[in-house]
Structure formats: structure tokens, C-alpha cells
Amino acid sequence: MGAIDKKKLLDILQDDCRISHEQIALMLGQDVETVKSAIKEMEDERIILKYPALINPEKLGDDTVTAMIDVKVVPQRDVGFDQVAERIYRYPEVRSVFLMSGGYDLSVVIEGRTMKEVALFVAQKLAVLEHVQSTATHFVLKRYKKDGVIYDEKEEDYRLQVSP
């Protein structure tokens, strides 16, 4: 049977975390207990953080505005960018924060009800933070693909129903 392939296990969960442990066990050629304990272990180690659903907000008629903000930061002795990043990611409006290479330092994804709300958040909360040099706000106009899933593509099977 061999040790469980954690990468494959995670790939399966990332594609569909609702698949039963029994089914995963069959797919990986492992017994159910091994699968359960591997998942539990990765949850405990916070390798697996959460099991969210991927949603198409446009279909939902949700008008939430998303923006990506390029933030330039002056790094600080000993902590680099981490402290400023934390000051930013603590805000619930902030959905993601990444440290980037290239022309700016932090990429911040913000959600708000209106463009104005987002713009004000940037002006009043982000831009004024100590060590933040500048911000540039880009609003998302349309989503095509996220996490490997194409929003507007229905999976159609064009194959003949029976073939040799």
C-alpha cells in the first residue's frame, strides 16, 4: 500500500472537498483510517485551513466591488514587511495580502459594497499607515477564471455516447 501521497490527497480535496473518505481511500489505494488520519493531521498542522465553496458572484447578482491595491512599503529593520502586512491584513475588508517581487511590495485584495467605500478605505486606512509610501487601486471589472475554474464554461460532453 505504501505511505499516503499527501500531494494527491490535497489535489483531490482542492478539486472537491465533499468527496467521502471512503471514495478517497479507493482512489488512492489506501484504507479509510489512513485517509482520515492524514486529513486530520493536515488540519491540525494548518496545512488545510478551510473548505470553502467557489462562487460566481455575478450569477448571484452580488454587486460587491473587488479591488487590487498595489502598496509600496518601506521595509523595517528586523521585521521587513511583515509588520506592515499585519497592520493591513487585520482589517476584515482585506481578503488577501501577498508580498510581491517587482514594482511594488504588497498586493492587497479588498472587497466593499461600492467603489467609493473601497476608495475611502484605501485613502483613510491604507495610505495613511506608517511606512506605506504609495498605493495604486485597480478595480476588478470581470472575472474569467479563478483557482483553475473558468466562470463561464459549462462542461459539455461532445463524445459519442458509445464507441469501441
Partner 1 sequence: MMKKPMEEYLNPTIVNLPPSGIRRFFDLVANTKGVISLGVGEPDFITPWHIREACFYALERGYTMYTSNFGTPELRKEIAKYAAKRYHVEYEPLSEILITVGASEAVDLAMRAMLRPGEEVLVPEPSYVSYAPTVTMAGGVPVGVPTYVKDDFQLTVEALEQKVTGNTKMLVLCYPNNPTGAIMTRPELEAIAQFAEKHDLLVLADEIYAELTYEGSHVSFPSIAGMKDRTILINGFSKSHAMTGWRVGYVCGNKEFVAQMTKIHQYTMLCAPIMGQMAALEALRNGEAEKERMVDQYDQRRRFVVGRFNEMGLTCFNPRGAFYAFPSISVTGLSSDAFCEKLLAEEKVAVVPGTAFGQSGEGFIRVSYASSLANLTAAMDKMEAFVKRCQKRQAS
The residues that touch partner 1, with contacts defined as CB under 8 A, are 8, 12, 16, 19, 23, 26-29, 155, 157, 159-164
Question: What whole-number distance in Å separates Cα of residue 50 and Cα of residue 57?
Answer: 20
DSSP string, 97-138: EEE-SSS-SEEEEEEESSHHHHHHHIIIIITTSTTEEEEEEE
- H-helix segments, 6-93: 6-15, 21-28, 32-44, 57-60, 82-89
Rounded least distance, CB 18 to partner 1, Å: 10
Name which of 27 and 123 has its Cβ closer to partner 1.
27
Rounded least distance, CB 162 to partner 1, Å: 4
Classify 11 as helix, strand or coil.
Answer: helix
Name which of 59 and 159 has its Cβ closer to partner 1.
159
Rounded least distance, CB 84 to partner 1, Å: 37
CA-CA-CA-CA dihedral for 126, 131, 136, 141, to nearest 10: -40
Rounded least distance, CB 24 to partner 1, Å: 9
Name which of 124 and 161 has its Cβ closer to partner 1.
161
Question: What whole-number distance in Å separates Cα of residue 36 and Cα of residue 123?
Answer: 47
Name which of 29 and 75 has its Cβ closer to partner 1.
29
